[in-house]
Amino acid sequence: MDSVKFQRLKDYVNTLVQQGDQYEKEKEYEMAIEKYLKVVDVLLVMGDSAPNYPMWVQCTDKAEAFQKKVKNLIALASIQQEKKDVENLEHKTYPKGAEQIVLRSS
């Protein structure tokens, strides 16, 4: 891969990282995960096309770091979803015909 294409990929990675960071700040973890997974993919392509060993190591190390970040965000997204599910259950009422029950937390 020539240096111009390689630089374009670097720029794309930077753009994806900025977008992912913004989603992460807004606690939109699923969108951040999507952006960071693209970062991993592009970094691995860059590593495969790296002109030398140090550049390959740099790309693959960054890809690994973003994979770890994605794992952590998956955990956060799961916790976030569980909290939403609990909140929805706490405020759920049952239909007419059944005894009206409102679930509340202890």
Domain assignment present for 104? no
Q: Identify which of 23-32, 74-83, 85-94 has the greatest average pLDDT.
A: 23-32
The whole-model pTM stands at 0.78
Domain assignment present for 40? yes
| C-alpha to C-alpha distance for 16 and 13, rounded to whole angstroms | 5
Domain assignment present for 60? yes
Domain assignment present for 29? yes
DSSP state of 96: T
Q: How many domains does the chain have?
A: 1
Secondary-structure percent of the chain, ordered helix, strand, coil, rounded to 5: 75, 0, 20
Q: How confident is the model at residue 104, as a pLDDT?
A: 57
Range of the domain at 30: 3-90
Domain assignment present for 49? yes
Domain assignment present for 106? no
Domain assignment present for 103? no
Half-sphere exposure of 80 (CA within 13 A, CB side): 12
Query: In this predicted model, which residue has the larger pLDDT, 85 or 51?
Result: 51
Q: Which residues of 92-103 are buried (b: 16+ CB within 10 A; e: fewer)?
A: eeeeeeeeeeee
Q: How confident is the model at residue 105, as a pLDDT?
A: 54
Q: How confident is the model at residue 86, as a pLDDT?
A: 79
Residue 99 has pLDDT above 80, yes or no: no
CA 79 to chain CA centroid, nearest Å: 14
Domain assignment present for 95? no
**Whether the Cβ atoms of residue 60 and residue 43 lie closer than 8 Å to each other:** yes
Query: Could you report the per-residue pLDDT of 5-31, keeping only the tens digit for each?
Result: 999 999 999 999 999 999 999 999 999
CATH of the domain at 79: 1.20.58.80
